[in-house]
Chains A and B, each alone.
Chain A
């Protein structure tokens, strides 16, 4: 009886759907749970950019964009539920900001013909678009990140790191395990010793890992962390007085939330990035005028200009550019998810385009093709300045070791194609 009532109420709640006359972009966000501190700024930036485009330009090609937000809590079951709940609304592109959910959605999106953009996360070998037709991970991926970190250490040590001991502190999940294979290859190539230190979800307990670091004194520590794990790791590193300038985090371990808790001790901590930092861009004037000051900002509106906000905004910017490309290709403004996929595959980001958008030199230039869904693997290193309270870029953008990564991508995507009976091809 109770169940019947609930089912009836549920049906009623579901039936009330909005009318469809716009471009729908789902936002599988997480504003709660142990990863919420990182999920909030990304989602705010993502939504604010679309709001800006709606408010300032009246949408893309005359079509307004509607955000369908759904809370996943970084949980794969809820992620699947969110996907099913939003996909029939005409969703154009998914960006789940979770490697675990990405793995769930790769086969589902392929079956439903909806593209997915996993910017700097997800399954790295999705770079090979001949196998992963619907998945895009431009402009950079985890294996690029692993190579960026090693290259940076190489550059710091005059090109010789043989015999050095490098530790990887990683989230013990699909996300954290992604770089291991690349790092093992690079260890062979450059002759350093790799030490693996897994941290279990959610990462609040890392005493034993950092005790081991204190005992074995690795020359460098690389971190693949997310959410509360980042804060704890940086705090522990400060506690054991690990030299912060030898500690490099992936781009997901490089937001203000992660270092602020550790205070001045975190000064000098390094993190990778594939886009620029700060809010010194013409676009932010528009953002303040049309979105923040107009009271239309997502969330609390206090994240503008933070690292992850910029990244969410960058993801939205790339999505909007892909929509524009798709509209040109399809010759219609009201595009479908299949046309969106084609648009993403034909996307080209140039310096002129970014400057016109008010984001000069914000990220690398790249061109997506069917064979390469992952960009060219450019990234830079930023360093935390505790006194100024901001990250600063300390290197130029440089390319990852394409020789090593290209081989690994080909291997891994071929294995996936074989497992799942996919014939690689670009039509």
Chain B
């Protein structure tokens, strides 16, 4: 009944190649966009924004970034936290050095700077693969965090070593600092997420994405059919780091407002984003969303359920939360190694045949 192509005729190549070729899928997508842009801004409050929506939007951008590198190009990275830190510190330096330029431009520029740093740390990927590359990116993680802690120039010589975002506005509405309103902050992050997802989706469908996937599936074969590994790998690092840098900049400037590098961008962050990508589904943009939603929502949900509704002690709930999330990750990986995106794909196949699975 749903997802039926019957009667859904395409008369041009453009129509046939669109992201959501099935009509039902497309309308669902428009509906989600409409709700996200036209309904949620009017009903969002501070709690929903800070506990659920902002982390989801920002982690989704980071997950898209890592998914391009790990899911599409097959280069395992444990440096996500470090690259997010580059985005955050770049954004901070730009914000304080050029206070008159729009924060939106600074966030994009911060992404660009992170892309350059990402390419630099991507260079070893030309010679090393798999676990060894993971170790090399792990080194990037530790080096970058150490750097931002060690060199006072990065945090403008503040006594505490923290960076804090001054107030900046978009069209006169504050989006960083203390006086922000929930809808404005939400919309800024939503615009960045939508743009990131559109760009990522179209990159991965085009020539760049095909080259990445060729490298992922077998790099020697890819080289033989004419894919330049240098450009393919480094472009994957650049694009991936760009998105991660944007998410780091938003994480610092819009979400937290003040950041301490070791705590906010430590190795835990790298693992968290990697879990999101793996649980959501490697090589899938939808998977990035699903993984981010899963890992952001589940702890909040469990906390509200155990402490808020059942009235359990907070420490028991916090420990249980770790156990449950950990167990669910294991269960998911055993039951569906390709992640939530694959579950969604299977569900769609089933829905196509429903109610007559012959």
List the interface of chain A (C-beta within 8 A of B).
Answer: 1-3, 6-7, 9-10, 13-14, 16, 29, 31-32, 36, 40, 69-71, 73, 75-77, 80-81, 84-85, 87-88, 99-100, 103-104, 107-108, 110-111, 123, 172-174, 177-178, 180-181, 198, 200-201, 299, 412, 419-421
Contacts and interface: CB of A to CB of B under 8 A. Distances in A.
B304 A13 contact: yes
B83 to A, nearest CB: 18
Contacts of B290: 2-3
Nearest to A99: B160
Contacts of B49: 84
B263 A100 contact: yes
B178 interface: yes
A201 B256 contact: no
15 contacts: A2-B340, A3-B290, A6-B301, A13-B305, A29-B314, A36-B315, A71-B317, A87-B46, A100-B260, A107-B178, A107-B258, A174-B260, A178-B160, A198-B149, A412-B159
A104 B161 contact: no
B297 interface: yes
Contacts of B263: 75-76, 100, 173, 201
Contacts of A73: 318
Interface in B116-160: 149, 159-160
A421 B159 contact: no
Nearest to B179: A111
A87 B300 CA distance: 17
Interface of B: 46-47, 49-52, 55, 149, 159-162, 164, 166-167, 177-179, 256-260, 262-264, 266, 290, 293-294, 297-298, 300-301, 303-305, 307-309, 313-315, 317-319, 340, 347
A103 B301 contact: no
- The majority secondary structure among interface residues of chain A is helix
B55 A85 contact: no
Contacts of A110: 178
A16 B256 contact: no
B164 A103 contact: yes
B305 A80 contact: no
A5 to B, nearest CB: 10
- The majority secondary structure among interface residues of chain B is helix
A85 B51 contact: yes
Contacts of B294: 2
A80 B297 contact: no
Contacts of A2: 290, 294, 340
A296 to B, nearest CB: 14
A200 B177 contact: no
Given A76-B263, A85-B51, A174 B318 contact: no
B179 A14 contact: no
A77 B55 contact: yes
B160 A123 contact: yes
B160 A77 contact: no
Nearest to B304: A13
Contact of B297 (A6, A77, A87, A178): A6
Nearest to A14: B304
A181 B293 contact: no
A29 B317 CA distance: 13
A200 B297 contact: no
Nearest to A79: B256
A50 to B, nearest CB: 16
A100 to B, nearest CB: 5
B318 A13 contact: no
A255 B49 CA distance: 38
Nearest to B294: A2
Contacts of A29: 314
Nearest to B303: A71
B103 to A, nearest CB: 16
